[in-house]
Structure 1
Amino acid sequence: MIKILLADDHQMFIDGIKSIIEGEIGIAVIGEANNGVQVIKAVENQKPDVILMDIRMPVMDGVAATRYLSKHFPEIPILALSMFDQEEDVIEMLEAGAFGYIIKNTGKQELIAAINAVMSKQHYYSKSLSGKIEEWLKTMQHREQYTLTKREREIIILVAHGKSSQQIANNLKISKFTVDTHRKNIHQKLGIKSNTGLVKYVMENLTNN
């Protein structure tokens, strides 16, 4: 039985999701929360298998809650729920540690598929969003700006120290998908194709920073 915790500040939406899930064999809603603080308390008390997390909630939003839970309860996958499909929302949730991101108008079949996917530690994105993610990645890979972000600097230094993508993900409390995305961006920005080249770049440019 997959135990679900629902987090959303609109009770009507929670009730709607519950009505969808209730008739599904092997899945049960065991808890509800209306803000990030309540989510954390519910996780500590109820130990769900999967969290369906709204992004924009009062007191503590979904991004902050996801970041905390990914650090303290990394074994519990989080599936982001949102009315929005904006790039910054998606990337922010993935960097916080979410395993997937679906739009709230997603149908029952896709919702169940998403739950099963993240339960198996597989990333899942709404079908309507998958193409956009690819576009965003391509756009990021073809940037003409070569200044590394703070996160990219952290990752390139860890790469230079011989860390794998999974080790970096564990160290920074983000998903491996996010690490791999940053690594692609770093290679593209710097025009460096090998890890040896990245090590040389770190030695020449970042050792004193």
Structure 2
Amino acid sequence: MSEEKKIRLLIADDHDVYRDGLQLLLSKDPGIVVVDEAANGKELLEKILVTKPDIVLTDLRMPVMDGVEAIASIVQLFPMVRTIALSTFDSEHLIVEALEAGALGYIIKNAQKGEIIDAVRTVYEGHPYYCKSTSVRLVKMISNSHFNPYKIKEQNLFSDKDKEIIRMICEEKSNREIAEVLFMSPRTLEGIRARILEKMKVKTAAGIAIYAIKNSLYRL
């Protein structure tokens, strides 16, 4: 893949060691090129102007200008740039603020390499990404927030069977439990679940729950 066709990524984090490690990790992916780094929100905005990235991966807690403020500025000044929030487990309120400010996804800092790359690719395609380790509390917070990237055009997108499975996923039932209740094999369930994920354009169970709540397929 030529560099022109790679996803152009800019990383912002005030910790040099973490930022360098993340750059090294992501630079190994043949579909991604890290165009620059920033140590705070102000520097991030300046470097976006020069490097013109597709995706910004930004920490939320930074000096000078924090990530939430930077994301809001990116939405206003650089609407074609999509952002992913980098956060820790104890920053749920900041994640919600970041999504409301305009981030299209978030990832926990200690997420696996594969999930970080999946998040970058998903957001690059214009779809939201919710970290796999999202807590029930955070799902509820996002569901009750102003963040809502979903616009359903098809009224009959999901069958009754789909809706039943969606409901049980929202209730945190495992694949095995759902398969037993519906008298189907785990493999059949996995196929249906994959189609639900595709229809919703999400990647995780948290994504299914947030989509379902936002679109009245499930009520808390």
TM-score bin, normalised by smaller chain: 0.5 to 0.7
2:32 maps to what in 1?
27
Matches within 5 A, 1:1-209: 1-129=6-134, 131-136=136-141, 140=144
Q: CA deviation at 1:85?
A: 4.5
- The 2-side partners of 1:33 and 1:137 are apart by 27
Q: CA deviation at 1:22?
A: 1.7
Check the 8 A contact 2:96/2:142 in 1, yes or no: no
Alignment CA distance shift 1:62-1:17 (3 Å): same
Unaligned runs of 5+ in 1: 141-148, 152-163, 167-176, 189-209
Alignment CA distance shift 1:182-1:66 (3 Å): farther
SS in 2 for 1:102: strand
- The 2-side partners of 1:181 and 1:98 are apart by 20
Structure 1 counterpart of 2:69, which letter?
Answer: A
Alignment CA distance shift 1:132-1:182 (3 Å): closer
Check the 8 A contact 1:85/1:103 in 2, yes or no: no
Check the 8 A contact 1:85/1:129 in 2, yes or no: no
- The 2-side partners of 1:183 and 1:99 are apart by 15
- Superposed CA RMSD in Å reads 3.0
Check the 8 A contact 1:81/1:104 in 2, yes or no: yes
SS in 2 for 1:135: helix
Aligned length, in residue pairs: 153
Unaligned runs of 5+ in 2: 1-5, 153-206
SS in 2 for 1:124: coil
Q: CA deviation at 1:23?
A: 1.4
Check the 8 A contact 2:87/2:95 in 1, yes or no: no
- The 1-side partners of 2:101 and 2:213 are apart by 14
Q: Which moves more between the two structures, 58-67 or 19-28? A: 19-28
Deviations 1:135-183 (A, max 9, x none): 3356x4xxxxxxxx9x7xxxxxxxxxxxx979xxxxxxxxxx9xx9998
TM-score when normalising by structure 1 = 0.65
Deviations 1:171-202 (A, max 9, x none): xxxxxx9xx999889xx9xxxxxxxxxxxxxx
- The 1-side partners of 2:21 and 2:142 are apart by 33
Q: CA deviation at 1:120?
A: 0.6
Check the 8 A contact 1:80/1:102 in 2, yes or no: yes
- The 2-side partners of 1:131 and 1:37 are apart by 33
Check the 8 A contact 1:137/1:181 in 2, yes or no: no
Structure 2 counterpart of 1:119, which letter?
Answer: Y
Structure 2 counterpart of 1:22, which letter?
Answer: S
Identity percentage over the alignment?
Answer: 39
